[in-house]
């Protein structure tokens, strides 16, 4: 695994120095206070405090030799030792004493002392030393100024993001990964992605021996753009390239270029390329490059001066006047459609590597990596788990393996079994179980609704096979019918999509047949069916009346600016025709589902009854109730 060089910690060092100064200041004042009171306490070590009544008794007895009066405190000497018992101590004989006057006695006390021939000394109010007075006057201002300086320095570091305060705005925040100290991530640690690995082999060979290519006058791509959905392993693959080549790897997120001050992002880009050129051959990896690489001048969603200056500087560094032959720039994004065309042209990001969701074999290999170190039961079949997770990315599979381990721990198991993986998949796909009371009528409606989906799917040979049906509330759904394809698909024929429409509407049709009414439970089914029918008509050319044209209706626009700027490419008449075709597809699918359910009414009732009792049925149980499904056929038109 690539070991990250321990980053410098100037913030922690500064804080440590600041606390040292504070502790030293407090210690200084403590020593000053102890020194100030040392002489006084040393003189008063043998002086005991007596109560006022004892003082009057000894005065009447004429046993007081001298006194010193300072405000309401009286200290003095006895002529003869007096035996007293200090509070909490043993009886002692004392010669010196101290007591406190209840109030100012005035001339009366003086006359009484003089009548007993007591030597009297009167001292003014005790004053502190000039040094202490000065320090006490200055200390509040020192503390106020010190706190203000600390706050200003901290604010400057937060704004600049670096240890140098206001003078480090332009320093790059890229993290350097060195691959010579510990075993690095290589292609062996990355499951799947065989096509992407083949395309990257040439880059690795160039980084290992640049002279081989320079001698032939060949140029390798300056920039590689990794494109794929979130969680497919783009960052991991970039790290593996650095591990295979054994070169310095600078990693940074594109959002770290942007600051509140204009020009900081461009300065950080310059600093990043300066560091990479100093250690070439090297790799610069910019994650989520769409944060700074969006199309310029799009109005809504664009037009940020700081972002555009950063992008302009990046364009200049990638293909400017200064060559950087042995520096490869890699970037990752899941939004390639929003990137500026100047960033994607040859000479900058020359090569685009698509990292798609893993297939069956790749999912199995990824699972094998993520179950390392986990205790598994012998019944765990990773191939079966991989078949039940179509469309999941590497991050999803890692989450699946971890969730299965958590479920096993929750049940106090020693090992993870297949049921734990099944439950983990249900949680990820359908959500956690909701513990709530459901009325009997709602339970029957949900059972018939999910049974309708199941019966229609089992009767259509082109539909995906049933995996599980449940009426246990999970997430936002009251029930769910889970269909799992037997193999990964890369295209969807019209016959398959028509079957999918019929399955989606099967639940609503079942409610209508049994209860002669419909409920709001089909809201999500109708939404998905309408969106699918709209794409079939307006994007995929699957309507005879609209024709084989793409009108762009129903596209998922990546951000608001393009959606508003996108003109309609069809007339009002064409819009009306598309609406009619969409409605026709949905109504035909509804009629197909209704015909199937009327023919299989007995199976529908039996399946719904079992669902009410069991709440969840798997594929084998469903087949026992309604019989074997029709023989499956490959989707699409069949050969004659």
Q: What are phi and psi of 485, to 5 degrees?
A: -65, 150
* Average pLDDT value for the chain: 77
- Residue 322, pLDDT > 70, answer no
CATH number of the structural domain spanning residue 349: 3.40.50.300
CB-based contacts of 510-514 (< 8 A; 24+ apart in sequence): 510/448, 510/449, 510/451, 510/452, 510/453, 510/455, 510/597, 510/604, 511/445, 511/448, 511/449, 511/452, 512/594, 513/594, 513/597, 513/598, 513/601, 513/604, 514/448, 514/604, 514/608
Average pLDDT of the residues in 575-587: 92
- Res. 161 pLDDT band, cuts 50 70 90: very low
- Residue 165, pLDDT > 60, answer no
Q: Strand 92-100 to strand 73-84: parallel, antiparallel, or no bridges (unpaired)? A: antiparallel
pLDDT at 8: 43
CATH number of the structural domain spanning residue 412: 1.10.8.60
pLDDT at 437: 67
Residue % of the chain over a pLDDT of 90: 10
Q: Are residues 472 and 577 in the same domain?
A: yes
State the Cα–Cα distance between residues 241 and 415, nearest whole angstrom: 35
- Residue 545, pLDDT > 60, answer yes
- Res. 593 pLDDT band, cuts 50 70 90: very high
Q: Are residues 64 and 141 in the same domain?
A: no
CATH number of the structural domain spanning residue 49: 3.30.720.210
Q: Are residues 11 and 142 in the same domain?
A: yes
- Res. 595 pLDDT band, cuts 50 70 90: very high
pLDDT at 300: 45
DSSP for 588-606 reads HHHHHHHHHHHHTHHHHHH
Sign for the pseudo-dihedral over CA of 123, 124, 130, 135 = positive
In a domain, 305, yes or no: yes
pLDDT at 137: 72
Q: Are residues 196 and 153 in the same domain?
A: no
Flag the least confident range among 86-95, 148-157, 426-435, 612-621.
Answer: 148-157
Comparing CA positions, the residue from 423, 462, 481 lying closest to residue 608 is: 481
In a domain, 600, yes or no: yes
Contact indicator for 251, 414 with CB cutoff of 8 Å: no
pLDDT at 155: 60
Q: Look at residue 355 and give its three-state secondary structure.
A: coil
Contact indicator for 76, 65 with CB cutoff of 8 Å: yes
Helices (H), 260-340: 264-278, 290-293, 305-318
Q: Are residues 408 and 326 in the same domain?
A: no
pLDDT in tens, 251-290: 888 777 776 666 677 777 888 888 888 877 788 888 888 8
Flag the least confident range among 140-144, 210-214, 594-598.
Answer: 210-214
pLDDT at 530: 93
In a domain, 434, yes or no: no
- Res. 2 pLDDT band, cuts 50 70 90: very low
Last residue of a domain, one of 354, 382, 415: 354
pLDDT at 476: 72
Contact indicator for 365, 191 with CB cutoff of 8 Å: yes
- Residue 371, pLDDT > 90, answer no
Q: Are residues 528 and 384 in the same domain?
A: no
Comparing CA positions, the residue from 311, 280, 313, 282 lying closest to residue 294 is: 311
Average pLDDT of the residues in 361-365: 84
CATH number of the structural domain spanning residue 573: 1.20.58.760
In which residue are the tokens 């049925």 written?
617
State the Cα–Cα distance between residues 75 and 68, nearest whole angstrom: 5
pLDDT at 563: 46
Helices (H) and strands (E) in the chain, counts: 22, 15
Q: Strand 351-354 to strand 327-333: parallel, antiparallel, or no bridges (unpaired)? A: unpaired
Residues annotated as catalytic are 450
pLDDT at 162: 47
In a domain, 364, yes or no: yes
State the Cα–Cα distance between residues 506 and 522, nearest whole angstrom: 10
State the Cα–Cα distance between residues 584 and 226, nearest whole angstrom: 41
Burial of 249 (0-12, 13-18, 19+ CB in 10 A): buried
- Residue 325, pLDDT > 80, answer no
Q: What are phi and psi of 244, to 5 degrees?
A: -70, -40
pLDDT in tens, 423-459: 888 888 777 777 766 778 888 999 999 999 999 998 8
Q: Are residues 218 and 274 in the same domain?
A: yes
| Cβ within 8 Å of residue 173, ≥6 positions away | 161, 162, 252, 256, 268
In a domain, 638, yes or no: no
pLDDT at 166: 44
Q: Are residues 63 and 164 in the same domain?
A: no
pLDDT at 4: 40
Average pLDDT of the residues in 319-331: 70
Q: For residue 359, what are its two tokens? A: 């297939």
Q: Look at residue 300 and give its three-state secondary structure.
A: coil
**What's the first-to-final CA gap in the chain, in angstroms?**
55
State the Cα–Cα distance between residues 123 and 111, nearest whole angstrom: 18
In a domain, 137, yes or no: yes
- Res. 376 pLDDT band, cuts 50 70 90: confident
Q: Are residues 82 and 14 in the same domain?
A: no
More confident residue, 105 or 560: 105
Q: For residue 158, what are its two tokens? A: 């937060």
pLDDT at 61: 84
More confident residue, 566 or 18: 18
Average pLDDT of the residues in 395-407: 88
In a domain, 288, yes or no: yes
- Residue 44, pLDDT > 70, answer no
Contact indicator for 584, 542 with CB cutoff of 8 Å: no
Contact indicator for 76, 27 with CB cutoff of 8 Å: no
pLDDT at 553: 78
Domain that holds residue 332: 175-354
| Cβ within 8 Å of residue 520, ≥6 positions away | none
In a domain, 634, yes or no: no
Comparing CA positions, the residue from 222, 256, 175 lying closest to residue 2 is: 175
Last residue of a domain, one of 404, 429, 454: 429
State the Cα–Cα distance between residues 322 and 345, nearest whole angstrom: 18
Average pLDDT of the residues in 482-510: 86
pLDDT at 560: 41
Peptide linkage before 313 cis (omega within 30 of 0): no
Q: Are residues 17 and 50 in the same domain?
A: no
What strand order describes the sheet that includes 327-333? 3-4, 175-178, 249-253, 282-287, 327-333, 223-227, 351-354
pLDDT at 564: 44
Q: Look at residue 102 and give its three-state secondary structure.
A: coil
Contact indicator for 116, 122 with CB cutoff of 8 Å: no
Last residue of a domain, one of 122, 153, 187: 122
- Residue 212, pLDDT > 80, answer no
Average pLDDT of the residues in 608-613: 89
pLDDT in tens, 451-495: 999 999 988 888 888 888 888 887 677 888 888 777 777 788 889
Q: Are residues 310 and 399 in the same domain?
A: no
State the Cα–Cα distance between residues 190 and 179, nearest whole angstrom: 17
How many folded domains does the chain comprise?
5
Q: For residue 107, what are its two tokens? A: 């001339």
Distance of CA 598 to the CA centre of its chain: 50
Burial of 262 (0-12, 13-18, 19+ CB in 10 A): middle
pLDDT in tens, 173-195: 666 666 555 456 777 777 777 77
pLDDT at 375: 85
Q: Are residues 333 and 385 in the same domain?
A: no
């Amino acid at each position: 695994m690539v070991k990250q060089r321990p980053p410098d910690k100037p913030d922690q060092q500064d804080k440590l120095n600041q606390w040292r100064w504070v502790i030293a200041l407090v210690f200084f004042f403590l020593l000053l206070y102890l020194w100030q009171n040392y002489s006084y306490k040393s003189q008063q070590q043998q002086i005991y405090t007596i109560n006022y009544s004892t003082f009057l008794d000894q005065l009447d007895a004429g046993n007081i030799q001298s006194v010193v009066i300072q405000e309401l405190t009286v200290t003095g000497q006895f002529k003869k030792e007096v035996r007293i018992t200090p509070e909490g101590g043993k009886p002692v004989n004392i010669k010196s004493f101290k007591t406190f006057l209840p109030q100012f006695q005035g001339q009366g006390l003086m006359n009484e002392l003089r009548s007993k021939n007591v030597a009297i000394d009167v001292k003014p109010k005790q004053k502190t030393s000039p040094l202490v007075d000065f320090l006490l006057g200055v200390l509040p201002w020192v503390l106020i100024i010190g706190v203000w300086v600390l706050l200003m320095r901290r604010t400057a570091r937060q704004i600049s993001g670096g240890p140098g305060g206001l003078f480090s705005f332009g320093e790059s925040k890229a993290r350097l990964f060195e691959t010579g100290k510990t075993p690095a991530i290589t292609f062996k640690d990355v499951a799947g992605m065989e096509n992407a690995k083949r395309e990257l082999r040439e880059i690795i060979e160039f980084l290992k021996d640049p002279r081989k290519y320079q001698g032939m006058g060949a140029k390798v791509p300056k920039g590689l753009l990794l494109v794929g959905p979130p969680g497919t392993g783009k960052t991991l693959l970039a790290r593996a390239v650095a591990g295979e080549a054994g070169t310095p790897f600078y990693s940074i997120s594109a959002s770290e270029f942007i600051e509140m001050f204009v020009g900081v992002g461009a300065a950080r880009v310059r600093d990043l390329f300066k560091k990479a050129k100093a250690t070439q051959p090297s790799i610069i990896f910019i994650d989520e490059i769409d944060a700074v690489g969006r199309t310029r001048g799009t109005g809504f969603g664009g037009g940020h001066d700081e972002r555009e200056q950063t992008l302009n500087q990046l364009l200049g560094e990638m293909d400017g006047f200064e060559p950087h032959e042995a520096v490869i720039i890699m970037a990752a994004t899941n939004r390639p459609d929003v990137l500026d065309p100047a960033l994607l042209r040859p000479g900058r990001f020359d090569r685009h590597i698509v990292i798609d969701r893993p297939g069956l074999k790749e999912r199995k290999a990824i699972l094998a990596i993520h179950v390392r170190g986990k205790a598994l039961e012998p019944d765990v079949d990773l191939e079966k788990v991989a078949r039940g997770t179509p469309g999941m990315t590497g991050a999803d599979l890692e989450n699946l393996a971890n969730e299965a381990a958590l479920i096993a721990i929750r049940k106090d198991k020693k090992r993870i079994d297949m049921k734990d993986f099944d439950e983990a998949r249900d949680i990820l796909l359908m959500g956690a179980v909701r513990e709530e009371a459901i009325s009997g009528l709602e339970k029957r409606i949900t059972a018939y609704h999910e049974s309708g989906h199941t019966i229609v799917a089992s009767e259509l040979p082109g539909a995906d096979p049933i995996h599980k049906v449940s009426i246990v509330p999970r997430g936002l759904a009251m029930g769910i019918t889970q269909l799992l394809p037997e193999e990964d698909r890369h295209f969807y024929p019209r016959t398959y999509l028509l079957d999918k429409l019929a399955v989606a509407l099967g639940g609503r049709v079942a409610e209508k047949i049994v209860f002669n009414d419909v409920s709001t439970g089909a809201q999500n089914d109708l939404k998905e069916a309408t969106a699918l029918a709209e794409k079939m008509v307006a994007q995929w050319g699957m309507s005879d009346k609209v024709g084989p044209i793409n009108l762009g209706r129903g596209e998922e626009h990546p951000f608001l600016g393009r959606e508003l700027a996108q003109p309609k490419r069809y007339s009002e008449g064409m819009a009306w025709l598309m609406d009619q075709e969409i409605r026709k597809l949905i109504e035909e699918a509804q009629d197909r589902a209704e015909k199937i359910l009327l023919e299989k009414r007995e199976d529908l009732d039996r399946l719904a009854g079992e669902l009410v009792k069991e709440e969840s049925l798997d594929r084998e149980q469903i087949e026992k109730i309604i019989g074997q499904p029709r023989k499956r056929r490959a989707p699409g038109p069949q050969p004659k």
